[in-house]
Each structure stands twice: as structure tokens, then as C-alpha cells.
Chain A
Amino acid sequence: MIEVSGVSQVYGAGAARRTVLDGVEVTLSEHRIGVVGSNGSGKSTFARLLNGLVEPTRGTVTVDGLDTVREGRAVRQKVGFCFTDPDSQIVMPTVREDVAFGLRRKGLRGAAADPVVDDALARFGLSALADSPAHTLSGGEKQLLALCSVLITEPDVLVLDEPTTLLDLRNARRIGDVVASLPQQVLLVTHQLDLLAGFDRVLVFDEGRLVHDDAPAGAVDHYRRLMA
């Protein structure tokens, strides 16, 4: 359960002052939650609030009662995050090492981590690439790797910030299928509205405000009217 109460997010000061989020109040308990909105609507900042990557200027965000500012570390263990550009998320030189990196927090390293890593790579169809340098992978493979590396830490919630924006249709579907099959609570920020079919709830952001909160059909309708 994620509770966002009275959150505003302001960057800069004086003339450069920009309000990115304005009075957002929402409780998230559904299994599948989508977030849509135009570029600059504040949805990406909203996603980053949920694991404490961004600390709210005003208001509080809690995950299962843990405050994202005061207990950021514990929150980030619960909330996995997947970025748009996998290149900025992959931190290790090879595929295997990158997946194993997430296990360090659990104290699993070296040979002890191998079976867990092999298992995860097999599930994502990345076994053949295990020892490849990360930079030789295609865009789709990189995003699968990024997802694999996050999920190996077994978070309770997965937040994805436009994970398919840089991908072609086939790879976008692949990521969509993986996300759909997850047991975790998922919050998916996206511009690809067809990924939201079957979701429980969709939030629409516009100019820093949460302007619509509905089942996918209604929310997507509202979003389309907004963009018309």
C-alpha cells in the first residue's frame, strides 16, 4: 500500500521556480496501476517519489507505512524501479555481473549467487548472453536485462518509468508480457496506451496535477480528450 498525501514538488527558486507536482493526494493499493500524461506533466517525478529517488518538497509518501525520506533504504528494498533508458540502469560490465549486483544487498556474492543468477537469466531468455559485455546487447535485450536485474531482488512493488519508449513494437510487447505476468504490484508510467489493457486503475497527470483517476477505458478517454 502506497500513500501519497499532500505532495507538492518544486524545483529551483525565484524566476526559475517550477512547480512539477501540485497537491497530489492518492492511495495506491491495486495490483496494476497505470500512469499517463503529456511530457512534462509530472508523471516521471511522481514515479520517482515512490521509491524516494525524489524527496517531496511538501507532503509525505509512505510505502507500507515506511516514509520514503526517513526510511528511504527500507523503501527501496520494497520498491524496485525500472528506468526508460536501460543504459543508465545497467551498472556492471557484463550481463551476469549486472544481475548479480542486485544480490549483494542480500549478502549473496560470487559462486553463491551463480545458481540464482542463472535461474533468473533463463527466465528472461538471456542465458546465451550471460557473459556478454552489456554494451553489445540490443535495446530490447538491455531493457530485459534491466528488468531482470531489478526483479532478482524480489521487490514487493515494481515502478516502471516508460520502459518501452525506446523499444520497437515486438520488444515493447515482450516487456509488456513480462510485466503482465508478475506477481508484484506494478505501477507503469507509459505513453503506450495498449499496455494498460487489463489494468485495475489508471491515473492521468496534467501540469503537475492528478486530473483523472479511473478504470483504464475512462482514464484513457479523458487523456485522449486532454491531448486533442
Chain B
Amino acid sequence: MTDLSLFVPGTSLLHRLPAGAKLLGLLALSIVTIWLQSAWQVGAVLALVLVGYAVAGIGPSLVARQVRPLLWFLVVIAGVQVWTSGWQMALTVVGTIVVLVLAAALVTLTTRTTAMADAVVAACRPLRVVGVDPERVGLMIALAMRSVPVVVGIAQDVRDAQRARGVRFAPQAYGVALVVRSLRQATALGDALLARGLDD
């Protein structure tokens, strides 16, 4: 089973900071990056984010792992930017993307998912006046988090079943089976919620 728990346990300042504060900080940082003009400014913000990683006690290999999936995107974007606006602009744009991804990952790595969900619920509270039930939003987040590993499990099952029957990868058959089984799972989940008292 794929390990989907991204949280790295710890007791650092960043771990102890409330989830809401971290999310607000991330929001503020994202807004600041709009005004970043030069490569050295981006470098300064990047240094700040890396200090954050050091404070959280997260090593360089884990830092690298956050950016690695983006590598090819970054190469293409950098290429286009060098072509159209010069290497300084390319450095600024690519640097900004790296800063944002690393900062978001830092929040994910130091915050329990439940704490994150609670923060979102708290943030939704003012929406009560327009008929949004914050508890429902929290439940929705929790159900979504619970469903990710379940659907990943279904996907593996479907693939194994097709391989066992000697079918080479057939995207259509795979897609149909995955969707049908996921919908059945959703029905079962609905029954379970009803049986467990969520019937209002």
C-alpha cells in the first residue's frame, strides 16, 4: 500500500505552530511572491523557506524530494522564459515556483491532516450566515482523506485482477472497472454513514 501520510512527526517550533497560522503564512508568502522582481529577491525568500526546513529538522534529501516531480516542468518553463524574456526572468519565474512548492510542502510536512481540517472548519465558521455548515465541511475533508487510500487500493486491485487474467494494460477496461468499483464503494460508505448515525 502506498504511504500517503506526508506528515513528519516532530516537536519543532513549526510543528507546534497552529495550522491556521501556517496556512495564513503560506497565503502571505504567496502574495509576496507576486512582487518579486529580481533573482536575488527570489533567492532571499528561498533562503527563508530553507531556514524553515532547518527549523523543522527536515533534511536536504526530503527537501529535494518535494521539488523532484516538478523537474521537467521547470526545465521546460525555464527554456521558454530564456527564449522570450532572458535568463534573469527565467531564474525569477522558476525560483518563485520552487519557493511556493517548498513552502506549501513545509506546511504539509509539519501539520497533521486533522489539524489542517480543523483549521479549515474554523475558517468556514463565518460562512454559517450563508448556510454553510462548518462541521459538514470538516466531515467532507475527513472523508476525502479517508477515501484516497481506499481508491488507491481499488486501483491496485483492478490492475492485479486484469494482470492475473492476462490482460495487457487496457485503459478503457481499467477506467470502467475503477469507476464502477469506486461508485460501489461510495454507496457502501453512504450506508455506513447512515448506519453510524449521520442521517440528519
Contacts and interface: CB of A to CB of B under 8 A. Distances in A.
B128 to A, nearest CB: 17
B175 to A, nearest CB: 21
B189 A150 contact: no
B123 to A, nearest CB: 17
Interface string B160-200: 00000000000000000000000001001101111111011
B126 interface: no
A133 B197 contact: no
A53 B194 contact: yes
Contacts of B192: 83, 88-91
B44 interface: no
Contact of B150 (A83, A135, A149): A135
B113 interface: yes
A93 interface: yes
A97 interface: yes
Nearest to A87: B150
B191 A134 contact: no
A97 B142 CA distance: 9
Interface string B1-44: 10011000000000000000000000000000000000000000
A53 B197 contact: no
A91 B199 contact: no
A123 interface: no
Given A93-B114, A93-B142, A93-B145, A149 B1 contact: no
Contacts of B113: 93
Interface string A62-83: 0000000000110011001101
B149 A135 contact: yes
**Interface size grouping (class) on chain A:** 20 to 34
B153 A102 contact: no
A81 B5 CA distance: 29
A133 B6 CA distance: 11
B1 A136 contact: yes
A88 B188 contact: yes
Contacts of B62: none
A112 to B, nearest CB: 15
B149 A133 contact: yes
Nearest to B145: A93
B197 A97 contact: no
Contacts, number: 71
A170 interface: no
A76 to B, nearest CB: 6
Nearest to B118: A110
B180 to A, nearest CB: 15
Given A133-B5, A136-B1, A91 B197 contact: no
B189 A88 contact: yes
Nearest to A85: B188
Contact of A76 (B1, B5, B185, B195): B195
Nearest to A52: B194
Contacts of B200: 73
A102 B142 contact: no
A54 to B, nearest CB: 9
A153 interface: yes
Contacts of B153: 87, 135
Interface of A: 48, 51, 53, 72-73, 76-77, 80-81, 83, 85, 87-94, 97, 101-102, 104-105, 133-136, 149-150, 153
Interface of B: 1, 4-5, 113-114, 142-143, 145-146, 149-150, 153, 185, 188-189, 191-197, 199-200
Given A83-B188, A89-B196, A135-B4, 6 more contacts: A76-B195, A76-B199, A89-B192, A91-B189, A94-B114, A135-B1
11 contacts: A53-B195, A72-B199, A76-B197, A87-B150, A88-B191, A91-B189, A93-B146, A94-B114, A101-B196, A105-B197, A153-B196
